[in-house]
Amino acid sequence: MAVYYHQSDFTGGTNCTVSRGLENYGAGNYALSSDGQPGTLGFFDTSVSNLHLQVYDTFRIDAGESTNYAQVTLESGGDLELCTNASLRVATNLVIGSNSVVMLNQGSQLDIQGSFQVQQGGSLIISDGASLHWSGSMAFESGSALKLTSGSSLWLTNAGALVGVSILVDGNSVLHTRGTTEFRSCNLTFNGASQLDVEQGLMLNSTTMRLDGGSLWNIPGTCQVHNGSQLTIVATSLLGVANQTLIVSSNSVIWCEGANRSNKVNGVWTGVGVTIAADNVIVDASSRITADGLGYVAKGDGCGPGGGGYGGNGGAGGAYGGAGGYGFSWRSESLNYGSATLPLDLGSAGGGYGGNGGGAIRLQVVGTLTLDGQITANGQQTGSYSSRWGGGAGGSILVETRNLTGSGKFAANGAIGCQQSGGGGGGRVAVYYQQSDFTGGTNCTVSRGLENYGAGDYGGSSDGRPGTLGFFDTSVWNYNLHVYDRFSFEPGDDFCPASITVTPNAELVLANGEQWSLIDRLVLMPNARVAVEAGSRLTTAGIDRLENITLSVRNGGALDIVGDVVLTAGAHILVPDASTVDVSGLLRVAAGAEITFGSGSTLLVSGGGSFWMKWLTPGSPAACFLRKPDIYGAPARHVAKLAGILVGQRETPSTSRRWATAPSMVADFQPMLSCSKS
């Protein structure tokens, strides 16, 4: 139906129809019949040069047809369809009324030279390689919708702000914007290898946006995620802000969601994280980039290489940088995995249904990363105390930047375990930079998740183990490593830093047979901790004083005391198990210092070596706790000289030991043979 007029005050347009006839007497599909198709109905105002088309019901431009109109208006409820390879050129303006739909089918093209308005509830659907171009002004009212599918494309030129629009771009489709574009209070989804092609800048303002399914955003201008916006990037998709700045501000969040999270691929766990590349990145104090709980999924036995086992009375925590704690129904720890220097893995889930692991974030910044907010990949626990689910492990954060500044925080912590359930292991963080005045290092953590909802040992569960966190200064050959919280090299980490600085209250774990010297490469700040484990050996050659630090020699590690070394106030040496302290020089344990030997430990005093304890201030004794150690010395040498406290001598390798104690001795020693005063 076509109605042409020069003047009109007709008010019955919305009553006019070319509706389809229903099948089967309107009772629905009964005998493989089908509805008819609607016809076409157009009102044409001939007072306008090249006509003004008004659509009240349905208007269709048939396959291959090419049409030009000065104006097109879809009144409320009207539909306009461009069939296969059809084209429509609108010279001045197109209005899509409320609850109206414009549909562009395979290969069709809509070209708008003037303004474009989509009213509340209106929709624009572009599919199967169709395209829309316009070069004038545009207005999408709140509640309108835009959908691109199957290789279609949409060009927005000088679009300004889109407000309250729902946009879906799917199936290799492309949304092109020319000029700076703002999405305000919008909901956008990019999926199926679709693309957002931005000529200049982009602002998300109070907007929710998801980049999924291998999609790509290439933004050559500044990209600002602002004012409470939520941007989700799913692994295999890429956000690229080439030669420009990414800004996350005003309580906004970028979520980094892993892929291959819940099932193995060809029998192997292949979870991957998210990469963000930019020239500069700014995260303000109210905002964050996070992968919390977006690693391997908890679904019974936890997913991932270090997934926690599950039993109804308590699951194990997930592992990654640190082992996961055991649960009441799963009595073995989940084992850690991955690299401390190149962390890219997802964190594993805890046993149960609430403890997802943390995801993985790789941030590649050509210029400056300014972090006053947070970048996190923490494990998750959504269960209540009585859920009895293990905590998820922390995930990965890998940062590569030229300049690092700000006072914010990196964190990849393990999550808490529920009742009788193990805590998640800490994750892994590695930050590489050339220059830094970052002041937030001491805020950064890869903490273990606590067992049993943090209430302590209740039913045979255990805490997770902390992960690894290192800051690498790349301005020097082989890098300087700064340790905040905890760091340990893993067997596959083929890396030997020029120096290692252990900051206050942080711990460096030397394992895997490494050989280290305090003077050569280790800088220990006050209250630093070093643990020597698993066949590794630490020597004090060139050091004359150990002050306000803790050295733990455990799990088969060894400490060599070379030269004259004073263990001064606040210093501690702990040898809790079958490990060795070898004194070939002179070790003096002064007032306020402490050395503890546990059962099965070894104090080896080599030829010419001496071990002294003394009071430097009356009433302030040094402390030596000897819990049945094996103590050896060279023949006819003093094994231990403990001035005023404990004296021991071994006369020959095969004869007895003699021990004497003063009443004020602080010790827990039970001699294996005779005890007499000397």
For residue range 605-624, what is the model confidence (pLDDT) as tens digits? Answer: 765 666 665 443 444 444 55
Quote the tokens at residue 182: 């703002």
Residue-wise pLDDT for 442-457, tens only, equals 999 999 999 987 777 6
CB 360 within 8 A of CB 274: yes
Estimate to the nearest angstrom the gap between the alpha carbon of 233 and the chain centroid.
12
Instruction: Look at residue 635 and tell me whether its pLDDT is greater than 50.
Output: no
SS3 letters for 163-231? ECCEEEECCCCEEEEECCEEEECCEEEECCCCEEEECCCEEEECCEEEECCCCEEECCCCEEEECCCEE
Task: Tell me the C-alpha distance between 639 and 673, whole Å.
Answer: 16
Q: Is 32 helix (H, G, I), strand (E, B) or coil?
A: coil
| pLDDT value of residue 519 | 63
Please give the backbone phi and psi of residue 648, each rounded to the nearest 5 degrees, phi first: -135, 145
Q: Is the pLDDT of residue 189 over 80?
A: yes
Which one-letter DSSP state was computed for residue 308? P
CB-based contact 532:560 (threshold 8 Å): no
| pLDDT computed for residue 121 by the predictor | 85
pLDDT at 506: 96
Tokens of 495: 């890396």
- pLDDT surpasses 90 at 304: yes
Higher pLDDT, 56 or 603: 56
Residue of higher predicted confidence among 494 and 401: 401
The percentage of the chain sitting over the pLDDT mark of 90, rounded to a whole number, equals 49
The Cβ-side half-sphere exposure at 336, using a 13 Å CA radius, reads: 30
- Tokens 């461009």 correspond to 82
Residue 522: its H or E element: strand 522-524
Mean pLDDT score of the chain, rounded to an integer? Answer: 83
Are 428 and 319 a contacting pair, CB within 8 Å? no
- Kind of pairing between the strands at 138-140 and 115-118: parallel
Per-residue confidence band for 655, with pLDDT thresholds at 50, 70 and 90: very low
19: confidence class by pLDDT, cuts 50, 70, 90: confident
CA–CA gap between residue 545 and residue 311 (Å, rounded)? 51
Can you list the pairs that 247-250 forms with residues at least 24 positions away whose Cβ atoms lie under 8 Å? 247/222, 247/223, 247/281, 247/282, 247/284, 248/224, 248/281, 248/282, 248/283, 248/284, 248/287, 248/288, 248/289, 248/373, 249/224, 249/225, 249/282, 249/284, 249/286, 249/287, 250/226, 250/284, 250/286, 250/287
Q: Poorest-confidence range of 10-24, 26-40, 262-276, 574-588? A: 26-40
- Residue 664's pLDDT band (cuts 50, 70, 90): very low
CA-nearest of 135, 128, 44, 137 to 86 is 128
Q: Please count the other Cβ atoms lying within 10 Å of the Cβ belonging to residue 302.
A: 37
- Which residue in 68, 102, 65, 105 sits closest to 86, CA to CA? 65
What does the buried/exposed string (b/e) look like for 434-449 if buried means 16 or more CB atoms within 10 Å of the residue's CB? eebebebbeebbbbbb
Torsion over CA of 352, 237, 176 and 283, rounded to 10 degrees? 80
- How far is C-alpha 418 from the chain's CA centre? 23
The residues pairing with 156 across neighbouring beta strands, listed in sequence order, are 134, 177
